[in-house]
Chains A and B, each alone.
Chain A
Amino acid sequence: DTAVSQTPKYLVTQMGNDKSIKCEQNLGHDTMYWYKQDSKKFLKIMFSYNNKELIINETVPNRFSPKSPDKAHLNLHINSLELGDSAVYFCASSRNSGTGRDEQFFGPGTRLTVL
Chain B
Amino acid sequence: AQTVTQSQPEMSVQEAETVTLSCTYDTSESDYYLFWYKQPPSRQMILVIRQEAYKQQNATENRFSVNFQKAAKSFSLKISDSQLGDAAMYFCAYLVNYGGSQGNLIFGKGTKLSVKP
Residues of B within 8 A of A99 (CB): 100
CB of B48, distance to nearest CB on chain A (Å): 12
Size range of the interface on B?
Answer: 20 to 34
CB of A103, distance to nearest CB on chain B (Å): 6
Assess whether B43 is in contact with A108, with CB atoms less than 8 Å apart. Answer: yes
Q: Name which residue of chain B comes closest to A33, CB basis.
A: B104
* A35 to B89 CA separation, bound complex (whole angstroms): 17
Binding site for A on B (CB under 8 A): 33, 39, 42-45, 47, 50, 52, 89, 91, 95, 97-107, 109-110
Given contacts A88-B43, A108-B44, A109-B44, contact A40 B109 (CB under 8 A): yes
Assess whether B103 is in contact with A106, with CB atoms less than 8 Å apart. Answer: no
Q: Please provide the chain A residues from 37 to 87 with a CB less than 8 Å away from any CB of chain B in the complex.
A: 40-45, 48, 50, 55-56
Binding site for B on A (CB under 8 A): 30-31, 33, 35, 40-45, 48, 50, 55-56, 88, 90, 92, 94-96, 98-104, 106, 108-109, 111
Assess whether A31 is in contact with B102, with CB atoms less than 8 Å apart. Answer: yes
The residue that B44 contacts in the complex, of A44, A50, A106, with Cβ under 8 A, is A106
CB of B31, distance to nearest CB on chain A (Å): 9
Assess whether B104 is in contact with A41, with CB atoms less than 8 Å apart. Answer: no
Assess whether A100 is in contact with B104, with CB atoms less than 8 Å apart. Answer: no
Assess whether A50 is in contact with B101, with CB atoms less than 8 Å apart. Answer: yes
* A45 to B103 CA separation, bound complex (whole angstroms): 10
